[in-house]
Amino acid sequence: MRKVLVTIISHDRPGIIYQVSRALADNRVTVVEVSQTTLMGEFAGLFSCVMPAPADLDEFSRVLGRALEGTGLAHWVTDASGNGRSPDADHGRHEPYVVTVRGRDRPDIIPEFSGAMAGFDVNIDNLRAVARPPEAEGGDGGHQVLMFFELSVPQAVNQGAFRQALNLIAEDLGMEMSLQHRDVFEAIHRI
């Protein structure tokens, strides 16, 4: 079996997941994991797949292109058979955390927090940012933003130093920040 990553980009519309998964299944490619999102009317999807070996990646990309022809779906196929760092392989050496940031929107929030995270060798697995109009938060004249960083934090990281670095950034930016283990975050926010 050969691991591949299929990336799909398109204007969002109903049926994209069906078209891609059908084309993959018709070519004996099994979808193992999917991450997809839409933003401002656009679709982006990552399909982690396994395909029969031996498999020619270029030929598979051409076949997939023909199967998706006329759909408006742009695709890329990447070999994922162990090249580069695999977060899944490091799972036992990392802990899942969630950083929540809230406050007045400004352009330097993401680079400041992500820079500190990179400095501690912390991987951002998922980032969600939602801006709200001023009237939604009491109307102080600026948009408010709520961000969720889902992280893989190496067990070797000094948790106190990491938390302190994030707190200093939040204070400098005038933001509220919380850092919680994902299990705690999910327990607190369970409906």
Which of 46, 9, 54, 49 lies closest to 32, judged by CA?
Answer: 49
Query: 91-188 maps to which CATH number?
Result: 3.30.70.260
Residue 171 and residue 103 in contact, taking contact as beta carbons nearer than 8 Å: no
Are 2-79 and 91-188 the same fold in CATH?
Answer: yes
Using one digit for the tens of pLDDT, what is the confidence trace for 133-147?
A: 766 555 556 789 999
- CATH 3.30.70.260 is the classification of domain 2-79: yes
Quick: pLDDT tens for 109-127: 999 999 999 999 999 999 9
119-143 burial string, b = 16+ CB within 10 Å, else e?
A: ebebeebeeeeeeeeeeebeeeeee
64 vs 47: CA distance, rounded Å: 13
Q: At 182, is the pLDDT very low, low, confident or very high (cuts 50, 70, 90)?
A: confident
Note the pLDDT of residue 141.
Answer: 61
The residue to which tokens 């691991």 are assigned? 3
Domain segments of the chain as ranges: 2-79, 91-188
* CA distances, 112 to each of 101, 115, 169 (Å): 12, 5, 7
